[in-house]
Amino acid sequence: MEQIKVLAKFNLDKIEIAAFSRAGRSYKITRQNFVHHFREGDRTIFIFHVSDEANTYQLRFEPETLKWFLVED
Amino acid sequence: MVMHLDMNSYFATVEQQCDPFLRGKPICIAGKGKNERTVCAAASIEAKKFGVKSSTSAWEAKALCPDIILVPPDFEKYQFISRKVFAILEEYSPTIEIFSIDEAFADLSHIKTYTEAAVLAQEIKFRIRNEIGEYLKCSVGLAENKLLAKLASEMQKPDGLTIIKRHHVKDILDKTPIEELCGIGSRLQLRLNSLGIKMVGELGAYSLENLIQLFGPHSGKHLKQMGQGIDSSPIISYRDFPAEKSFGHSYTLPKDISDINEAKKVLLKLSEKVGRRMRKAGVFGKTIHVYLRFFDFTGFGKQASGAYLQNGYDIYQAALKILESNPSKRPIRLIGVSVSNLKNARQVNQVLFLDKQKEEKALNATDKINDHFGEFTIFRSSLVKIKDRIQNIPDGRNKRLM
């Protein structure tokens, strides 16, 4: 898992991801396909399945630390 | 009136929902990573056209469809979506029965007409697409009982809505092969076929006396009723589900193993998982059952009863004795362990020995750490080498999703 920077809009009860960057390159998100969450110990972890024009990515958001990670691409 | 809702090609469709680049392609949910010997947990609608189905092995799926994409399962995600689907269904019915992770029955006895029920079914289908994921499809069956509602939902896939009304039942059953009826497995099908019974209608017309003679009074009568489309079984809400009678886990190994030490490590990990779930549920168990499946699909299973246990290591030690009594030297394909004969922790005489008390304290501390940071954050050193394997074992029965 790689920590990344994310540009997101907190829209009422939804988080909409606009873009993320890793290794100096930014990726513009065109689709948010699905969001789910699960418990890891006593923490809630959110997983965002998002796509750009070429690929799908899984982004992990940890609300406790406000950190974002790229799970896979 | 009963509704049966069945999510189509469920795990595969969920993955296609999450990754639009998988849509329209043959995919199957199989194992983790590049382990090709696991079986398909689900095949996409596109993969099914090539003959790939649930229980097809991954290598067989590749032989049937060389372009098939193997996607590792994510059971937490599937359970998350199931809970959302069932929560929608529950808004329309006072009682829903979770039949499996992707199927449920809903009691619609408050609905007067099939037309009204069909409108409601369309609304549920729309809400699943709109509120959960636009790629998720389900088939819905409406009928007077669970048996017929399930049969109805199987009749139109994907995205179907089928109603079986009373005056159509006989015609439909006459044209339905018995294996399509829920509860008729492959062995029973063969047995009925050998009696000349191929269609459900033929089962309904078969002599009750003969069925009772062949299958016993209970099963014989039950089969006759199934053949006539009669089913009086109630819809059992997940809220009324009886307490678990056993806790178990099994694991299909990436490669067949002959080395007993390898088998021991897997057995320890499985026992630890079982023990952890039992402690969460606050129960002890006294009967340990170990089962092995060999490379040639033959098996070995044995159980033993002793003291009430809850500690994963104690379960492992009892299970190990059974494992070591396995007379076969055949390579092992699958290992499973379960604990039954359960008792509530308050009813069990707890250990008084000082060293055991220390162990219990250590176990409690371990549980607290794992509760806080997640499963297997802290674990026995003997599991270091296999910690990251056997991670993807879904917990218990899927009927306990909600």
Q: How many CB atoms lie within 10 A of CB A64?
A: 9
pLDDT score at B262 = 87
Contact B390, B35 (CB under 8 A): no
Q: Domains (ranges, CATH) in chain B?
A: 3-76 (3.40.1170.60), 87-227 (3.30.70.270), 246-400 (3.30.1490.100)
pLDDT score at B38 = 73
Q: How many residues does chain A have?
A: 73
Q: Which 53-72 residues of chain A touch chain B by CB within 8 A?
A: 55-56, 58
Chain B residues within an 8 Å CB radius of A42:
371-372
What does the pLDDT look like over B240-289, one tens digit per residue? 877 788 999 988 887 888 888 889 989 999 999 999 999 988 999 999 99
pLDDT greater than 70 at residue B219 = yes
Contact B312, B348 (CB under 8 A): no
ipTM entry: 0.92
B287/chain A closest Cα distance in angstroms: 29
pLDDT score at B396 = 39
Q: How many CB atoms lie within 10 A of CB A22?
A: 16
- State residue A65 phi and psi, 5-degree precision: -110, -5
Average pLDDT on B101-110 reads 96
Q: What is the rounded distance in angstroms from the CA atom of residue B328 to the CA atom of residue B296? A: 12
| Region of poorest pLDDT, from A19-33, B77-91, B211-225, B354-368 | B354-368
Which residues are within 8 A (CB) of A52 and not within 5 positions of it... i.e. 6 or more apart? A27, A28, A29, A30
Q: Report the percentage of chain B scoring pLDDT > 70.
A: 92
Look-up: residue for tokens 């990515």? A57
Partner-chain residue, chosen from B19, B371, B373, that has the shortest CB–CB distance to A33:
B19
Annotated active-site residue in B15, B46, B97, B103: B103
- Amino acid type, B75: F
Mean pLDDT score of chain B: 89
| Region of poorest pLDDT, from B19-28, B77-86, B290-299, B370-379 | B370-379
What does the pLDDT look like over A2-56, one tens digit per residue? 999 999 999 988 999 999 999 899 999 999 999 999 988 889 999 999 999 999 9
Kindly identify which residue of chain B lies nearest to residue A31, measuring between CA atoms. B20
pLDDT score at B376 = 80
The pLDDT confidence band at residue B395, using thresholds 50, 70 and 90, is very low
* Domain that includes residue A39, residue range: 2-72
Known active-site residue B103: yes
- Check whether B6 is labelled as a binding-site residue: yes
Judged by a CB distance cut-off of 8 A, whether residue A34 touches chain B is yes
Instruction: State the greatest distance between any 2 C-alpha atoms of chain A, in Å, as a whole number.
Output: 36
Q: What is the rounded distance in angstroms from the CA atom of residue B340 to the CA atom of residue B247? A: 7
- DSSP lists the bridge partners of residue B342 as B285
Greater model confidence, B401 or B20: B20
Judged by a CB distance cut-off of 8 A, whether residue A40 touches chain B is yes
Look-up: residue for tokens 């636009």? B134
pLDDT score at B37 = 62
Total CB pairs under 8 A between chain A and B: 42
Q: Per the CB < 8 Å rule, is B18 touching A49?
A: yes
Which residues are within 8 A (CB) of B298 and not within 5 positions of it... i.e. 6 or more apart? B328, B330
The pLDDT confidence band at residue B390, using thresholds 50, 70 and 90, is low
A24/chain B closest Cα distance in angstroms: 25
Instruction: State the greatest distance between any 2 C-alpha atoms of chain B, in Å, as a whole number.
Output: 72
Q: What tokens does B145 get?
A: 């009982």
pLDDT score at A42 = 87
pLDDT greater than 90 at residue B128 = yes
The pLDDT confidence band at residue B402, using thresholds 50, 70 and 90, is low
Average pLDDT on B373-400 reads 64
pLDDT score at A54 = 93
Give how far Cα B393 sits from Cα of B66, B276, B305, B388, B396, Å: 27, 13, 25, 12, 9
- Check whether B256 is labelled as a binding-site residue: no
Classify residue A26 as left (phi > 0), alpha (psi -120 to 50) or beta: beta
SS (H, E, C) chain B: CEEEEEECCHHHHHHHHHCHHHCCCCEEEECCCCCCCCEEEEECHHHHCCCCCCCCEHHHHHHHCCCCEEECCCHHHHHHHHHHHHHHHHCCCCCEEEEECCEEEEECCCCCCHHHHHHHHHHHHHHHHHHHCCCCCEEEEEECCHHHHHHHHHHCCCCCEEECCHHHHHHHHHHCEHHHCCCCCHHHHHHHHHCCCCEHHHHHHCCHHHHHHHHCHHHHHHHHHHHCCCCCCCCCCHHHCCCCCEEEEEEEEEEEECCHHHHHHHHHHHHHHHHHHHHHHCEEEEEEEEEEEECCCCEEEEEEEEEEECCHHHHHHHHHHHHHCCCCCCCEEEEEEEEEEEEEHHHCCCCCCHHHHHHHHHHHHHHHHHHHHCCCCCCCHHHHHHCCCCCCCCCCCHHHCC
Average pLDDT on B121-138 reads 97
DSSP character for A24?
Answer: T
Partner-chain residue, chosen from B19, B77, B372, that has the shortest CB–CB distance to A56:
B19
Q: Per the CB < 8 Å rule, is A55 touching B77?
A: no
pLDDT score at B209 = 95
- DSSP lists the bridge partners of residue B43 as B28
Considering its fold, how many domains does chain A have in total?
Answer: 1
pLDDT score at B397 = 43
Q: What tokens does B175 get?
A: 């044209």
pLDDT greater than 60 at residue B35 = no
pLDDT score at B110 = 95
A3/chain B closest Cα distance in angstroms: 19
Greater model confidence, B368 or B391: B368
Q: Per the CB < 8 Å rule, is A41 touching B20?
A: no
pLDDT score at B32 = 58
